[in-house]
Structure 1
Amino acid sequence: MVRFSILLALLLFTTVAHAELEVQVEPRNDAARKNIEAFIGPVTATSREAMWRLARSSREQALSALQALGYYHARVRPRVTGEDTDPVLLLEVTLGEPVRLDNVTLEVSGAGQDADYFNFPLSRHMMPGAQLHHGHYEDTKSLLQNQALQHGYFSAEFLENRLLIDVEDNLADIILRYDTGERYSLGEVSFSETPFDADLLQRMVPFRYGVPYEADLIAEFNRELLSSGYFEAVQVTAPADLAVDGIIPVQAQLKARKPHSLGFGGGFSTDVGPRVKADWTQHWLNSRGHSRGAELEVSAPRQKITSWYQIPLTPPQSSHLRFFSGWQREDIDDTESQSMVIGGLLQRRLENGWNRSIGLRLEQERYSLGDDSGRSTLLIPSLGFQRTVSDNSMDPSRGYSLMMDLQGAKAGILSDIDFLRLNLAAKGLYTLWDNHRFLTRAQVGGIASDGFSSVPPSLRFFAGGDQSVRGYDYRTLAPTDDTGERIGGRYLLATSGEYQYEFRPKWRAAVFIDHGNAVDSWKGPMKTSTGVGIRWVSPVGPIRLDLARSMSDPDEGFRIHFSMGAEL
């Protein structure tokens, strides 16, 4: 038995072919050929004689590359072919029988010996009878070390790591004995100088003092600080070499963002036409992290201005209390309305990943709805839940989003009517074989009220448009009054199925079918439309162009829809 070790660099496989080197392996083995080519690298010579001088070292390198894959009885015969001014080194390789594993010992001791992340099953390449492969041996060692670093076992070490090879019997033994040592913990968090109170910063820490070290906790803390909106640069570290009695101090280097930002934007969709938008935000106005802002949006059918003031809670990066006020005017098809609102919203991201919002707003609306007009005053408590899971925020390949919104009012409590309104929505996206995408969405809503005729248009349901049944224009699907003007429905159903094919990077063709309507009774007629579209993932987000036609009402003709925004 002899001890053998070899550089892992031998196992750097590559598909690059070297014109000056040819490798022929018998029996054919692409892995062996590629490993030889990768280890030897380019071979160049100005003459056949010069190439022969390189042949011996190339042969030795080839043998080492083969041994890394378990072939200790391989034969390599070098030859030089080609013209004298353009020689080629040919290596004729006969593999022979490989060395196979006989005994494999993997033992973990120390504080982490019972932890799941150290008790991983050995791969089939590390089982008795498998062909020896130095890369798999090194991979197992690296996995143990990486798990130790990931979970805070910074004093972990190998008590024994040996690869014993009996070349004569073509057998090898692997012995890995690893001691994890004690697990380190996270200690006090210190912050660099910032304009913020120490209390506010400490409330952003997502872990308690003394929690066992996890690299993911440090990464999460870094992300949470960035998502708070207070900082333009964040670097969180936990240097193990500063640990005292197994407790690692955590250091957060922060650079506060500029307090004010002003933004301007615009867009176009077939639902509302061209629109412009301006917003101002003061991201922090005192050391306690309070913020405020205002927003103006103008389009032909809708004009809106809002303002808000926000107080961070605990944790500040995902929980806050926002007070808001706003004015809005709409003139869409058969509906005109003007409303003012003031209220508050308590928003929190729950531990299960859902975003919860609890709100209370006082809303006054004057409206003209068909041949009717009115004025409503409502004090509306609300409860909402929302969650989006995806692999990319701008252009996901898979994921889903779920939303629930429940709101209502009680007549006599600063409200003219009783009502309860529920709105549910879901979207799902899945991609097969990289370029086949399937997108589905569904929305269901309903209003319970004894005085539905007095429910303002902002709370009623309408269907049609680029986010609804695309064979119809925006908000043109709804019950009508005696004059034929649309007045909104008590219930809503809108579903869609879409297939997209990516025919070139960032460009996709789509076919879809939509089904739904806004109705006063679930027995009301549903509408179906179908169409085709094109999708472009632009630098500013996905852009969609659709051509749709109603199957329920062929006389409606074709509808073109243009929109922007993420699909989830």
Structure 2
Amino acid sequence: MAAPAQAVTRGCWPTGMDWYRAVWAVLLSAALAGCASAPSADAAPPEPSPSAFTLDIDAPPALAALLQQHLDAQRLRAVPDLTRSELLRIETTLPTQARDLLATQGYFSPLIQVALSPPEIQPPRLHLQVQPGPRTTIEAVDLRLDGPDPERTERLVTEVRRQWRLPEGAYFTQAAWDEAKREALRTLQQRDFARARLVASRADIDPERARATLHLHWDSGPAIRLGPAQVEGAQRYPDEQALRWAERAGLRAGLPYDETLLLAAQRQLTQSGLYDSAFVLLADDGPPDALPVRVQVREAPRQRLQIGLGLSTDSGVRLSAEYTHLRLPGLDWRLDTRLRWTQKDTIVGLEGISPLDGQGWRQRLGWQAEAQRDEPRTRTQQWRWTREQPGLRLDRALFVQWDTSTERRAGAAPERASGLGAGWTWTRRAFDDLDDPRHGYGLVAELGAGWTRTPEQRPYARARARALLLWSPADDSRGQRLALTLEGGAVWAAAGARVPASLRFWAGGDGSVRGYAPRSIGAPGDGGAPQAARLLALASLEWQRPWRHDGALTPWELALFVDGATAGDRWSARESALGVGAGLRYRSPVGPLRADLAYAVRDRRWRLHLGVGFVF
């Protein structure tokens, strides 16, 4: 489309007050023209043009809607002054068009009658009567794949059959046939054979028996192996950084082609924080046994400031500010600073993160201070050095940290504690989808040990583990599943040793025991108020089932759940809590949106929990 021409005025441009007068003159002229052209409020709306003829369709409702939408006769009704001969021509062509449309839905032997009203009836009427007859079903499916490795191609054909949309006994429709062909080719191209192509396809229809036999023939093309990766678009960061992040997702030269590897590399690059977007795809040309990989990146701004305002059911009003510098001059480290204020706490943090080294490890050096305003009023600080190897599926890290805490209870002297410790963490994510998983499992383990420093030196050890299992029956077409969460933590130290509060455990709130406020489940304390516990055990069981409408899955889901936890400094003196409830889920592009209404059995009150996304 050509750009609109621009008028060029030669002479003197208005200056001073003349410039304002010229602008106001243009605006006033436009307003007057709009008023002149606008219809009067009292004016009657124009009458619709009469139809040249009336079309009556007598057919089952679903087929009648199809015919009304796509028949040419519907469009021709708007043509004025149709002659009798033109109407007779429409009557003659109508059965052929209707038969073609019915064939797309699997009706290949319909009975169709068309009648045109006598000339004396005005406006003329066309009556279309349809008896669709039996609907065609799939009798057999013939799938064939030619390729260099018969054993591998046979496995691929088996996989295509497993996911095939039109199995024997299913109704044949043209839309389903086209979609099944596209999905089958996509399945073949996802692994090993990126250049697979459809050689021939045929649907043999037997109208008398209302049966269809489907034939598909593909050529796999050569088996593809990944070649060297080539980075495009990098400016501030060296190409090695993009390649190292892609390798953390498993992308390496010499591996058989797997589309999931390329998608994982894209995700890993965007999650690194260095790139706003990333695309990882095969090059157009190259040897099949070493086909180059193109890594296209768009770097994020070097500096970014984010200010947020929110509302949480757990902590009330939330204000936040985050400043990020992705490449500190002279150091090349990333700097993250954050401030978060809520009605219940304030958090201030500062962290430096190094680039990935050749083995995929990086350093983190951070400080964080937190002030909790609910009872007991707690202030904590933590200095932490971490050497970690991040990844989408597997994270591991070694750390050394210094913790301090001050706990104040009404009518009691403040309790101060500090400790120096070291430890190891390990995280495994084996979900089918990292944003909105349907099945799989996740595991987190942490082990640490150290010495308390205030008020006296005592050794301590700390362990924490968390597991999430998503399970759905393989033969259940309704999509229901179970989510089981188990969590446990323990701090071992002498009875009189003061372990910093940031090393002990709380329960309650979204992601823990729903129905309770955060930090409301802990060890029994003096005066009845809970305190951070040395021992914690938590379990949650949730049943999830998608909603269906007219037999099709919708993005909405129903959930029923029961959560429970027990916490204390000794198992003989602990506090337990149970929460039950129901919730709604909505599968959005940014992840699942959650709304849970939970009842706290211990406190005998209801609480609403809202959340978005999936994080493990």
Asked if these proteins are the same fold (TM beyond 0.5), I'd say: yes
CA shift for structure 1 position 310: 1.0
CA distance in 2, matches of 1:519, 1:224: 39
Alignment-derived partner of residue 9 in structure 1: none
Please give the alpha-carbon distance, in whole angstroms, between the structure 2 residues aligned to 1:168 and 1:534: 51
Matches within 5 A, 1:149-298: 149-151=189-191, 153=193, 177-193=217-233, 194-206=235-247, 207-240=251-284, 242-244=285-287, 247-269=290-312, 272=315, 274-285=317-328, 290-298=333-341
1-side partners of 2:273 and 2:386: how far apart? 20
Partner of 1:79: helix, strand, or coil?
strand
Cα distance in 1 for residues equivalent to 2:236 and 2:94: 64
Q: Which amino acid aligns with 2:156?
A: Y
Query: Which AA in structure 2 matches 1:91?
Result: Q
- Indicate conservation of the 8 Å contact 1:509/1:532, yes or no: no
Give the distance between the partners of 1:106 and 1:308, measured in 2 at CA.
57
Match of 2:27 in 1: none
> d(CA) in 2 for partners of 1:155 and 1:513?
49
Change in Cα spacing, 1:274 to 1:111, as seen in structure 2 (3 Å) is same
Establish whether residue 85 from structure 1 lines up as the match of residue 123 from structure 2: yes
Q: Distance in 2 between matches of 1:345 and 1:57?
A: 76
Gaps of 5+ in 1: 1-18
Cα deviation code 1:400-423 (max 9, x no counterpart): 7654333222579xx922222223
Deviations, residues 487-506 of structure 1 (Å, cap 9, x unaligned) = 54332234456789999999
**Equivalent position of 1:408 in the other structure:** 449
Alignment partner, residue 40 of structure 1: 71
Q: Which amino acid in the other structure matches residue 307 of structure 2? A: F
Residues 252, 121 of structure 1: CA spacing in aligned structure 2 closer, same or farther, 3 A cutoff? closer
Would you say 1:348 and 2:390 are equivalent positions?
yes
Which deviates further from its counterpart, 89-98 or 162-171? 162-171
* 2:96 aligned with 1:53: no
Partner letter of residue 109 of structure 1?
Answer: D
Other-structure match for 1:8? none
CA–CA distance in 1 between the matches of 2:419 and 2:101? 82
Contact 2:425 / 2:444 at 8 angstroms: preserved in 1? no
**Distance in 2, Cα, partners of 1:440 & 1:526:** 22
Write the deviation string for residues 385-435 of structure 1: whole angstroms up to 9, x where unpaired: 364848684x888887654333222579xx922222223345578999999
Give, in whole Å, the separation in 1 of the partners of 2:167 and 2:561: 49
- Once residues 500 and 107 of structure 1 are traced to their aligned partners in structure 2, the CA distance between those partners, rounded to angstroms, is 39
For 1:418, the equivalent position in structure 2 comes to 459
Structure 1 position 516 matched with structure 2 position 565? yes
Distance 1:557 1:185 in 2: 61
Match of 1:493 in 2: 537
Q: 1:472 to 1:314 in 2, by over 3 A?
A: same
What's the secondary structure of 1:516's corresponding residue? strand
Structure whose residues are more often helix by fraction: 2
Q: Secondary structure at the match of 1:121?
A: helix
Contact 1:204 1:314 in 2 (8 A): no
CA separation in 1, counterparts of 2:501 and 2:612? 26
Tell me the distance in 2 between the aligned counterparts of 1:366 and 1:536.
40
3-state SS of 1:333 partner: coil
Q: Structure 2, unaligned stretches of length 5 or more?
A: 1-53
Match of residue 381 from structure 1: 423
Q: 1:165 to 1:252 in 2, by over 3 A?
A: same
CA distance change for structure 1 residues 243 and 283 in 2, over 3 Å: closer, same or farther?
same
**Mean Cα deviation higher: 360-369 or 225-234:** 360-369
Question: Which of 157, 162, 177 in structure 2 is aligned with 1:118?
Answer: 157
Post-superposition Cα deviations, 1:148-198, rounded to whole Å, max 9, x if no partner, equal 544464765666666677889999876655443323443333223422223
- Contact 1:284/1:290 (<8 A) preserved: yes
> How large is the RMSD of aligned CA atoms in angstroms?
5.2
- The residue aligned with 1:22 is 57
CA offset at residue 258 of structure 1? Answer: 0.8
**Cα shift at 1:260:** 0.6
Decide which moves more: 62-71 or 193-202. 62-71
Secondary structure at the counterpart of residue 183 of structure 1? coil
User: Which amino acid in structure 2 is aligned with residue 334 of structure 1?
Assistant: P
Which of the numbers 283, 308, 330 marks the counterpart of 2:351? 308
1:52 Cα deviation after fit: 3.4
Deviation at 1:324, TM superposition (A): 1.4
The answer (yes or no) to whether the contact 2:452–2:497 under 8 Å persists in 1 is no
Point out which structure has higher relative CO (alpha carbons under 8 A, 6+ apart): 1
Displacement, 1:281? Answer: 0.9
The Cα of 1:244 is off from its aligned counterpart by 4.7
Q: CA deviation at 1:257?
A: 1.4
1-structure distance, mates of 2:378, 2:87 = 87
Partner SS state of residue 421, structure 2: strand
Determine whether 1:324 maps to 2:366: yes
> 1-side partners of 2:485 and 2:340: how far apart?
27
TM-score of the superposed pair, with normalisation by structure 1? 0.72
- Structure 2: how far apart are the matches of 1:105 and 1:264? 59
Q: 1:283 to 1:66 in 2, by over 3 A?
A: same
1:527, 1:78 → 2: CA distance? 76
Question: Any idea what SS the aligned residue of 1:204 has?
Answer: helix
- Alignment-derived partner of residue 145 in structure 2: 108
1:453 maps to 2:509: no
Query: Structure 1 pair 198/424, CA: closer, same or farther in 2 (3 Å)?
Result: closer
- 1:296 Cα offset (Å): 2.4
Structure 1 residues 222 and 74: CA distance shift in structure 2, 3 A: same
Deviation at 1:250, TM superposition (A): 3.0
The question of whether the paired residues in 2 share the 8 Å contact of 1:196 and 1:288 is answered with no
Distance 1:506 1:379, change over 3 A: same
AA partner of residue 268 (structure 2): E
Please state whether the residue corresponding to 1:280 is helix, strand or coil: strand
Q: CA deviation at 1:261?
A: 0.8
Matches within 5 A, 1:3-22: 20=55, 22=57
Pick closer, same or farther for the CA change 1:90–1:315 going to 2, 3 Å.
Answer: farther
Query: What whole-Å deviation, never above 9, does each CA across 1:359-385 have from its counterpart, x for those lacking one?
Result: 221334455575573443322324243
Do the aligned partners of residues 175 and 254 (structure 1) sit closer, same or farther apart at CA in structure 2, a change above 3 Å counting?
A: closer
Alpha-carbon deviation of 1:309?
A: 1.3
Question: Match of 1:349, as an amino acid?
Answer: G
Name the CA distance, whole Å, in 2 between partners of 1:434 and 1:158. 32
Q: Residue 37 of structure 2 corresponds to which residue in structure 1?
A: none
Q: Tell me, yes or no, if the aligned pair for 1:118 and 1:147 is still in contact at 8 Å.
A: no
For 1:62, the aligned partner's letter is: A
Distance, in Å, in 1 between the alignment partners of 2:608 and 2:103 is: 63
Instruction: Output the amino acid matched with 2:125.
Output: P
2:350 and 2:367 in contact (8 A); partners too: yes
Q: Percent identity?
A: 20
Contact 1:354–1:386 (CA under 8 A) maintained in structure 2: yes
Shift in CA distance, 437/289, structure 1 to aligned 2, threshold 3 Å: farther
Describe how 1:464-475 pairs up with structure 2 within 5 A: 464=508, 474-475=518-519
Q: CA deviation at 1:259?
A: 0.5
**In structure 2, distance between residues paired with 1:508 and 1:139:** 26
C-alpha separation between the residues in 1 aligned to 2:544 and 2:390? 35
Q: C-alpha distance in 1, partners of 2:206/2:609?
A: 71
Aligned pair in 2 of structure 1 residues 105, 85: CA closer, same or farther (>3 Å)?
same
Cα distance in 1 between the residues matched to 2:282 and 2:253: 13
Shift, 1:125, TM fit: 6.0
Structure 1 distance, partners of 2:138, 2:246, is 51
Is the CA contact (8 Å cut-off) linking 1:126 and 1:137 kept in structure 2? no
Is this contact kept in 2: 1:444–1:492, CA < 8 A? yes
More divergent stretch after superposition (167-176 vs 300-309): 167-176
